[in-house]
């Protein structure tokens, strides 16, 4: 049983943490909504005030219809890029982690070390563009997908290998004695037990790829290849910025990642906590 002093301290600590998190996460979100509800003149002041007239829906409509409704194309491109990249990362990441963790010899360790180096070395833009051009996949969705797979494979493999280390080898041996092949063991035994880790990787990588601004800017130029974050350029010019439409654009771009996070938040926390405790 806690003493009264400990209970007061614990309650005060929780209140301070909640207040701090509110400032960090809620206040910026409220500011975005307020700016997206203002007129162009009000938003230009960048003040944290209530709008004289709520123009939220009107601004959203203008953002969506801008450029012959190119926002739909941008959202479709970002969704396609995200789904394809995440699917390949999970597919190859789980298979590589299975071999590296279960085999656990010098060759697997060296390959794992080379893969982990990708977490420490930043991508080089110019050599990557030259490589894509020589392979005739520059300015293509396929080329951008390959880049995202290469960037996020090390992170995903590390998560999968850590989670796989918590699965007893006895399950593999029992399945092997029953006549199961390595692929059968992987798909029937190992993969279902990796669900928390897979959800963690899927949510984390999906949000990063969908919100990626620099990658498509360098490696996927062109009006037909526009992605959701790049639509923010539509309301920024050399001499003026339409802040109300810019923040409305932020709202539209943030809808899909927000839905993903809300839908998978419990699985995400469970996967991260499980890896932290068992690893």
53 pairs with which residues across the strands?
Answer: none
Q: What is the pTM of this model?
A: 0.82
Would you kindly state where each structural domain of the chain is located, as residue ranges? Answer: 57-278
* One CATH from 1.50.10.10, 3.40.50.920, 1.20.1250.20, 1.10.3720.10 for 57-278: 1.10.3720.10
Q: 73 pLDDT exceeds 80?
A: yes
Closest CA to 63 of 196, 270, 184, 228: 228
Sequence-ordered alpha helix ranges (H) in the chain: 4-21, 27-36, 40-44, 56-103, 106-117, 125-134, 141-164, 169-177, 182-185, 191-193, 195-210, 214-219, 243-278
Report residue 11's pLDDT band, with 50, 70 and 90 as the boundaries: confident
Which DSSP string corresponds to 197-261?
A: HHHHHHHHHHHHHHT--HHHHHHS-SGGG--TGGGGGGGB-SS-B-HHHHHHHHHHHHHHHHHHH
> Which pair of tokens denotes residue 244?
């109300």
Q: Report the distance separating Cα 267 and Cα 152, nearest Å.
A: 20
Q: 50 pLDDT exceeds 60?
A: yes
Task: Provide the pLDDT for residue 270.
Answer: 55
How many residues belong to the chain?
279
| Digit-coded pLDDT (tens) for 262-276 | 776 666 555 555 544
Residue 140, by phi and psi: left (phi above 0), alpha (psi -120 to 50) or beta? Answer: beta
As a whole number, the mean pLDDT across the chain is: 85
């Amino acid at each position: 049983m806690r003493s009264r002093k400990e209970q007061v301290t614990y309650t005060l600590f929780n209140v301070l943490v909640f207040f701090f998190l509110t400032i960090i996460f809620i206040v910026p979100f409220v500011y975005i909504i307020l700016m997206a509800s203002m007129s162009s003149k009000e938003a230009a002041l960048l003040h944290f005030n209530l709008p004289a007239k709520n123009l939220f829906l009107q601004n959203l409509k203008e953002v969506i219809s801008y450029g012959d409704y190119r926002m739909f194309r941008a959202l479709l491109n970002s969704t396609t890029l995200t789904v394809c990249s995440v699917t390949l990362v999970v597919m190859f990441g789980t298979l590589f982690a299975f071999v590296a963790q279960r085999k656990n010899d010098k060759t697997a360790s060296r390959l794992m070390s080379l893969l982990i180096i990708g977490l420490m070395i930043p991508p080089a833009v110019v050599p990557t563009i030259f490589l894509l051009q020589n392979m005739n996949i520059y300015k293509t969705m396929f080329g951008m997908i390959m880049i995202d797979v290469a960037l996020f494979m090390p992170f995903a493999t590390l998560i999968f290998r850590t989670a796989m280390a918590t699965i007893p080898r006895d399950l593999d041996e029992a399945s092997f004695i029953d006549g199961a092949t390595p692929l059968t063991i992987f798909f029937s035994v190992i993969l279902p037990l990796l669900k928390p880790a897979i959800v963690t990787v899927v949510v984390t990588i999906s949000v990063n790829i969908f919100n990626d601004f620099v990658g498509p800017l360098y490696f996927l130029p062109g009006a037909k290849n526009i992605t959701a974050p790049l639509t923010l350029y539509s309301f920024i010019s050399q001499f003026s910025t339409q802040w109300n439409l810019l923040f409305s654009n932020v709202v539209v771009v943030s809808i899909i990642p927000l839905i993903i996070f809300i839908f998978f938040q419990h699985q995400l926390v469970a996967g991260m906590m499980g890896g932290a405790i068992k690893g």
